[in-house]
Each structure stands twice: as C-alpha cells, then as structure tokens.
Structure 1
Amino acid sequence: MVKTHMLDPHWVLLGAVLGLAGSVRYAFATVRGTARPNLVTWSLWAAVPLIGFFAQLDAGVGLPAVQTLAAGAGPAAVVTCGLLTRRNLVRLGRFDVVCAAVAAAALVGWLVLDQAPLAVVCAVVADAAAALPTLAKAWRDPYSENLLFYVLVGIGAAVTLMTITSWAPESWAFAAYVFSMCAVLGGTVFTRRRVLRQPGPGPVFQG
C-alpha cells in the first residue's frame, strides 16, 4: 500500500480539537436556544463514530482514529445538552423515524461485516442517513443550525485527510465523508440564510 501524506500525522490532533471546538460551540448554542438539534441526527452522529473508533483501533489505523473519536464525543455532548434543555429539541416526524431506521440497519450491517472496506461503506451510509433530517431542517430553518460547527468540523476533517499515511478505505473514507457532509450542510445553512434574508440570532456567519 502506498504511503504518502502532506502533513505530519500528529496534525490529526489539531483536526480533532477543531471538531470538538465546533461541537462545544453547538452545545452552548443549544443551551442558549440559538440552535435546535435533531436528536435522530445527533444521537447517531455520536454512536457511529464512537463505534468506528473502536473498529479503527482493532484495524490498527493509528492517529486518524483520534479524529473519529472526536467526531463521536462532540455530538454526544450536544445530545446531552439537548436532553437537559428539552425546549430546544426538534419534534421528530415520520421522515426522522425512517432515516433513523435506515441508519440503524446500515449500522447493524457494519457491525456484522468482517471486511473493513464494506464496513466503512455501511458506516458512511448510516451517518449520511442520520444527517438527512438535519439537512431538511437546515433547508427549512437555517437559523436553527450553528454554521460555525460545520466550518470547524469540516476543516478538522480536511486536516485529518492531509495526514493520512495509508490510503486503505478504512483509514480515509470516513474523514472524507465528514468533510463532504460538512460542506453540504454548511453550504445549505449559509445559502438559505442569504436567500431568506430574515432576522436571525446574529449575522449570517453566526453559528
């Protein structure tokens, strides 16, 4: 396997810190009422990376697993804050339940597969299905999201990708997905705020 990278592998620690900083920002926004997390999305965003972290440890991935750990620990903090301030939670509908079922099915597939590349695909599918309710919410109500979260987590994922030393799918695929997901969700929030031009909890780049 070819090993090449643009940054020293220890830079992944910076990526993890950025991801955690974004999640802490979202958690504080949830407490203040300027962000309203969807529990389907955030619960699965916590579960999938945390399970993936232990899978990466078993696969001997190394430092890139730190970013995966941060990707799960941050959403877990958001879920905790959301449960403590229940008035800020998004009411779950049928679409949320369907997405949760798809994500759960993909997660089960991931856990029972022995081949790492296929397991990574299932992990990405599970996480993406979990993201759909938040994507729909970001389109309807972009001011219920924290833009800075997606910026920081996306940058953190990009830093992680630049530290990859092994281009086996289990090493890079999840970080690549996180970067893409943040680009889509962050871009949706930013664009919809510009289109709606309605009063919100601060300037357009408010989290």
Structure 2
Amino acid sequence: MLDPHWVFAAALLGVVGSIRYAIAIVRGAVRPNLVTWSLWAAAPLIAFFAQLDSGVGLPAVMTLAAGAGPLIVIITSMITRRHYAHLNIIDLVCAGVAVAALTVWLGLGAAPLAVLFAVAADAIAAIPTLVKAWRHPDSENIFFFVLVGVAATITLLTLTAWTPQSFAFAVYQLSICLILTTLIATRRHAHQRSPSGRA
C-alpha cells in the first residue's frame, strides 16, 4: 500500500503523457479525433466531480488529471489545426451515456452510479481509437498509454477504501491502457514483419 499522496505523482505522469501527445500533434505525428478526445475530457471530469460528491478524497486527483490531459490535446490540436472531427454513431452513443451520467448525478444525486456511467462513456469513446490503433498503429503514441497505465496503477496502490466510486475509473484506465499498449505494439510488430508493410 502506497501513501495516498502518491496520487499526485500519478496525476503528473498522466499530464506528462498528454503533453508528449500534444508535442506529437505539433510535429504532425498524430492527428486526434476532436469529438472522441472531447468526450475523453468530459467523462473523467464528470467522474471527478461525482467522486468529490461521494467523498472519495485523494484518488479523485488522478481522475481530474485524466480529464485535464485530453483538454491539453484538444487545445493543441485546435491551435495547430491538426485534427479531424468526424461524428459517428459511437460518438453519439458516448455523448448519450455522458449525459445520462450527469442526469444520474445531478438529477438523482447518485454520485457513485454517475462514476460508473462516466467510465462507460469513456470506454465507448475509446472504441474509435482501438480501431485506429488496429488499422494504423504508427498513428498512435504508445508512450502516452504507458504513462497513463502506470498512473492508474499507482492510484490503485494508494486506495484505502475499495468502493466502486474510488476504484472504478482507475481500474478502467489501467485496463484500456494495457489493451491499447499491447494492440499498438503487436500491430507495429506485425507491420514490420509483413513484406508489404501491412498485416
């Protein structure tokens, strides 16, 4: 069990990962989907305020960083105009789940359930990136997902109370980062071994 204040180191790792992703945007190495990243910012911020409402405490710091990081990416992509904003059914479903999370939290006062809705919204928003990582693994920054995964692990190691509102977002973030890191690494390896450069 780590000291709860380690969550600040976890948050810093997440922000550093986002800054590195923003630098990759400036260099033209990545081109984020503005809709997806906007939802990636909204869902954690909803979860963060719901966690505060539930009295989660310091573990909420990582959730705040998980929302602030995508904001850095969004601002950078808008300034450099290196993004695309293609609204599809997945984005609409994710937005609907995010609105449901806000309704559950603000309308019904059910903050713990709102955290779970926010996790669901974030997971749905990850689907386009999973598809993109499968088709074009070189278009993603693997180091970003490694840093966020480490940050989630640190946060989980600081938990003293294992309630859904305290661990759900960190467990989700660790899981999605492990999936994306593995997917990107294996697909890049497959592309390198393929004579045509395609798997």
| TM-score relative to the length of structure 1 | 0.87
Stretches (4+) displaced over 3 A: none
Q: Can you give the 5+ residue segments of structure 2 that lack an aligned partner in the other structure?
A: 194-199
Per mean C-alpha deviation after superposition, the further-off stretch among 20-29 and 39-48 is 39-48
Q: Can you give the 5+ residue segments of structure 1 that lack an aligned partner in the other structure?
A: 1-5, 199-207
Q: Secondary structure at the match of 2:160?
A: coil
Q: Does 1:31 align with 2:26?
A: yes
Q: Partners of 1:124 and 1:177 in 2: how far apart?
A: 7
Q: Partners of 1:181 and 1:143 in 2: how far apart?
A: 18
CA deviation profile, 1:150-201 (whole Å, cap 9, x unmatched): 0000000000011011111000100100110111111111111010018xxx
Give me the identity figure in percent: 57
Decide which of 22, 35, 38 is 1:40's aligned counterpart.
35
Q: Partners of 2:30 and 2:186 in 1: how far apart?
A: 17
Q: Which residue of 2 aligns with 1:155?
A: 150
Q: Partners of 1:71 and 1:137 in 2: how far apart?
A: 21
Q: Secondary structure at the match of 1:175?
A: helix
Q: Which residue of 2 aligns with 1:89?
A: 83
Q: Which residue of 2 aligns with 1:174?
A: 169
CA 1:90–1:136 in 2, change beyond 3 Å: closer, same or farther?
farther
Question: Aligned-pair RMSD on alpha carbons?
Answer: 1.4
**CA-CA distance at 1:54 after TM superposition:** 1.6
**CA-CA distance at 1:91 after TM superposition:** 5.8
CA deviation profile, 1:39-86 (whole Å, cap 9, x unmatched): 122111111112222221122111111101111111100011111122
State how many pairs are aligned.
189
Q: Partners of 1:102 and 1:49 in 2: how far apart?
A: 16
One-letter code aligned to 2:101 = W
CA deviation profile, 1:96-124 (whole Å, cap 9, x unmatched): 52111111111111112133332222111
Q: Partners of 1:175 and 1:43 in 2: how far apart?
A: 19
One-letter code aligned to 1:162 = L
Q: Partners of 1:178 and 1:33 in 2: how far apart?
A: 26
One-letter code aligned to 1:185 = L
Q: Partners of 2:55 and 2:116 in 1: how far apart?
A: 18
Give the alignment of 1:64-79 within 5 angstroms: 64-79=59-74
Decide which of 107, 116, 130 is 1:121's aligned counterpart.
116
Decide which of 81, 98, 108 is 2:99's aligned counterpart.
108
Q: Which residue of 2 aligns with 1:201?
A: none
